[in-house]
Amino acid sequence: MVNIVFREPVLSKFLDSPSGEVGKYLSKKGTQIVALAKGQVGVRSGALRSSIHMRHLRDSRGQYIKVGSSKKYARLHHEGSRPHMIYPRKAKMLRFVSRGQVVYANSVRHPGTKANKYLTDPMRKIVR
């Protein structure tokens, strides 16, 4: 007969500490996901790319990581949008540049945007 003895402090560090083996594994995978997401996300000003981050968290179930962005438009970029109308909020007219010309309009029909799954695509590559 074999006796197995669990030393709780060692087991706890292994499972629950960011410096334990599980925590190191999660951090490594999270860092890889962040790097791939930053490489896949569309870049106009770079604000969305620079806002992608990882948080290492713990709750009653154990450790986990969250990868994402706090930018308001991050979800629209990830999920895409349907065609929709754009109306001015505070001004009386919309002003924008189209083909080098300044255009004024009461409303604009936005064609929608294609989804860019910059978070879930890297996650599927890294976490299998």
Q: What is the residue extent of each domain of the chain?
A: 8-126
Q: Using CA atoms, how far apart are residues 125 and 42, in angstroms rounded to an integer?
A: 19
CA geometry: angle 72, 61, 59, nearest 5 deg: 50
Write out pLDDT tens, residues 49-97: 999 999 999 988 889 999 999 999 999 999 999 999 999 999 899 999 9
Threshold 0.85, pTM exceeds: no
Average per-residue pLDDT for the chain: 92
